[in-house]
Structure 1
Amino acid sequence: MTTTTASTRKILMSATALAAAALLAQADARAQGSGQLNVVCSVQDEWCSLISTTFARSAGIKVNVLKRGSGEALAQLIAERSNPKSDVWFGGTGDPHLQAAEQDLTLAYKSPSLAQLHPWAQAQAEQSGWRTVGVYSGPLGFAYNTELLAKKKLPVPRCWKDLLSPALRGEVQVANPASSGTAYTMIATIVQLMGEDKAYDYLKGLHKNVSQYTRSGTGPIKAAARGETTVSISFVHDAPGEQMQGFPIATETPCEGTGAEIGSLSIVKGSRNLENAKKFYEWALTPAAQQLGVAAKQFQLPSNKTTPLDSRIPDFRKIKFIHYDYAKYGQSAERKRLIERWEREVNALPR
């Protein structure tokens, strides 16, 4: 029998280690290629959790979720342009998704399910060159604390002009458009409704009544629900979740007309798990997936026309909408210009 020398044993051990490493690398590659999906999620935490766990269970794919606000998600896609770590971006206001499409950060993908969607969702896809699609929509309006309004003997704000009342001095909260898609939607809506110069005159008048510009778009309605402010400018679909917790909150949509967000869905260009990203994309457009919003206490209008609707979802037929130009106001240069003007002419003013 031949005796194995120490040097031979070392060679054999090294070869075994290399083989094991190769097998692990192959297994990891298989997992990356067929068993995983990395989602940047820009909706509320509970909704992110529901979509990830439900899709993972139904598709047999491991889902890794990174929660990011829509502005933060766009910044991440820009930073990772040369080496994307995410496969798909779910939710958040549509403007940053359109900017990602404009900057070639997302992949053109024309879903066979498009015909099942509302026209506004199909238009979002077409305007982006098929690089994003609408998954939900929600109208912009006002929320108010019913108890505070009654206590202070203030009228219900029903129109944009009502928010300029001297009686509301320090009683209004809205988010900062530099960090919030909600607030940028407000500026773009008012500009389209009034014309740009008149819109900024309006925003200067509103500034006198604003107690705080919050970082988050949901911050003002939560403050109104908890009695920290009387009125907020918010997406009105955020109110039912506050009402379910027992807070005295009610909403109106402006009599002159209002805009709406289109929450969107995009596949990241350079996705390492492209087939899984497409599977998720198609699944997210189904009625079953879109009902998870209500399950997470979120009440936007789903984009699939056949999704059963909860009674707490705003009735779009009863709301006066402007013809919101998503293509124009979703452009990076236009957003930057309007926000810079707001910073210079409005936010810099004393209150």
Structure 2
Amino acid sequence: RMIRNRLTVLACMAVIVTLLAFAHGAPALAQGGSGRLVVYSAAPLDFAESLKRAFEALHPGTTVEIVNPGGAEAIIAKLAAERHNPQADVFHSGAVFEFLVAAKMGLLARTDPAVIAPDLPQALEIAGARIPLYDEEGRWYVWGFSLGVIGYNERRLEQLGLPVPRRWQDLADPRYRGQIVFNMPQQSSSAFNTLVAHYQMFGEEGVWELWDAIDRNIAFYTPSTGALYSLVARGEVPISFGTARNYYVNRAEGHAVNVVYPEEGAWVFATAVGIVEGAKNRELAEAFVRFVLSPEGQVHAANHFQNPIRKGIQATAHSVDLSVEYVENTVPKIVVVDSALAEEIREEVMRRFDRYTSR
């Protein structure tokens, strides 16, 4: 009887401890409000850290751990290696086509878009384009985008007496010989996307006629995507073309850099977020994705020079207008890169650029 009474007392104490734990913190955990959230993010560290601080402030008791193993491709490789024991809860940032790869590999969890993004349309219709904002199975959600543009150094072009190129076709003008730098599609996804977009704009014959002429004007091809922007920022080469975000960052740093949205079309580099299949903290992961897509999360995106997907969003950290409304009123045309076409022409693009870059 004495043993039975002791067991009864121990059981009662266990119940009391459990109730006290719930009274002091477990309700927040049950709501997805506290715990440890691991986010693999390919975003610039200052941006990822701003999301971390804001989310932790909204969810007291939560710790967000940001991990960047070296970009989106490295994240996918890491998620694949950890497939049987996932260490991350969220995959944040990276191009949509990279999320398509991750989803095809079974690395992203299915979610209900009606729960995660109930007030977002399935696509953003803007400047003649339809940008998908999530897939039907909710494995990825677009939180922002940047546009493929022509970037130039205002001061250097003025010194050279050259006009600002307004169209992709202007880059074929012999006046720009030796005044353009581009990165290598063999090593850069954004460079490859530029070529796919040009293929869509100019057709199979027109794209290579254009590129044979542009190639003659290119001073050199750089294997470094970062150099594409820094060379123009410093005025060492006056013209390059890439994603607008990077030029805006350089402009905010005081460089005489500006961008052109080409008349034939600016291509979309949409960036996404998704929950990792087998995430240990699924509820908190869903809360993080909802935050990234929320108006507050969108302001963070705009503050770091990403175009938001929601209307009415303005940056609070700088004066560059990246709003949906501005894009609608300013950009002549937007081209959404065709992922199926990209795979179809990949070998041809690589073959052509092996020839261009070996000269």
Choose which of 114, 119, 142 in structure 2 pairs with 1:116: 119
1:286 aligns with 2:279: no
Q: CA deviation at 1:321?
A: 2.3
Coordinate RMSD, CA, aligned? 2.6
Secondary structure class of the residue paired with 1:195: helix
Choose which of 340, 354, 357 in structure 2 pairs with 1:347: 354
Choose which of 303, 307, 311 in structure 2 pairs with 1:305: 311
Alpha carbons of 1:215 and 1:127: their partners in 2 closer, same or farther (altered >3 Å)?
farther
Secondary structure class of the residue paired with 1:193: helix
Q: CA deviation at 1:301?
A: 1.7
* Counterpart residue identity of residue 331, structure 2: I
Alpha carbons of 1:123 and 1:154: their partners in 2 closer, same or farther (altered >3 Å)?
closer
Alpha carbons of 1:237 and 1:134: their partners in 2 closer, same or farther (altered >3 Å)?
same
Structure 1 CA distance for aligned equivalents of residues 224 and 120 of structure 2: 29
Alpha carbons of 1:292 and 1:144: their partners in 2 closer, same or farther (altered >3 Å)?
same
Secondary structure class of the residue paired with 2:144: strand
- 1:125-204, aligned counterparts within 5 Å? 125-127=133-135, 129-204=137-212
Alpha carbons of 1:215 and 1:346: their partners in 2 closer, same or farther (altered >3 Å)?
closer
- 1:1-351, aligned counterparts within 5 Å? 35-59=35-59, 60-67=61-68, 68-111=70-113, 112=115, 114-117=117-120, 119-120=123-124, 124-127=132-135, 129-295=137-303, 298-308=304-314, 311-314=319-322, 315-317=326-328, 318-325=330-337, 328-329=338-339, 335-349=342-356, 350-351=358-359
Check the 8 A contact 2:116/2:289 in 1, yes or no: no
Check the 8 A contact 1:71/1:179 in 2, yes or no: no
Check the 8 A contact 2:144/2:301 in 1, yes or no: no
Structure 1 CA distance for aligned equivalents of residues 222 and 142 of structure 2: 26
Q: CA deviation at 1:155?
A: 1.4
Bigger proportion of residues as strand: 2
Structure 2 CA distance for aligned equivalents of residues 257 and 48 of structure 1: 30
Q: Paired residues, what number?
A: 313
Check the 8 A contact 1:36/1:61 in 2, yes or no: yes
Check the 8 A contact 1:70/1:181 in 2, yes or no: no
Check the 8 A contact 1:237/1:313 in 2, yes or no: no
* Counterpart residue identity of residue 169, structure 2: K
* Counterpart residue identity of residue 258, structure 2: A
1:160-207 CA distances to partner (integer Å, 9 max, x unpaired)? Answer: 111112222232222333433321221121111112343234333323
Alpha carbons of 1:218 and 1:338: their partners in 2 closer, same or farther (altered >3 Å)?
farther
Check the 8 A contact 2:184/2:221 in 1, yes or no: yes
Which structure 2 residue ranges, 5 or more long, are not aligned? 1-28
Alpha carbons of 1:230 and 1:61: their partners in 2 closer, same or farther (altered >3 Å)?
same
Which structure 1 residue ranges, 5 or more long, are not aligned? 1-29
* Counterpart residue identity of residue 163, structure 2: P
Structure 2 CA distance for aligned equivalents of residues 242 and 126 of structure 1: 30
- Percentage of pairs with the same residue: 25
* Counterpart residue identity of residue 75, structure 1: A
Structure 2 CA distance for aligned equivalents of residues 72 and 167 of structure 1: 40
Q: CA deviation at 1:228?
A: 2.4
Secondary structure class of the residue paired with 1:92: strand
Q: CA deviation at 1:239?
A: 2.6
Structure 2 CA distance for aligned equivalents of residues 113 and 294 of structure 1: 21
Check the 8 A contact 1:178/1:339 in 2, yes or no: no
Structure 2 CA distance for aligned equivalents of residues 99 and 268 of structure 1: 13
Secondary structure class of the residue paired with 1:173: strand
Give me the TM-score of the superposition, normalised by structure 2: 0.78
Alpha carbons of 1:178 and 1:76: their partners in 2 closer, same or farther (altered >3 Å)?
farther
Could you tell which deviates more after superposition, 171-180 or 42-51? 171-180
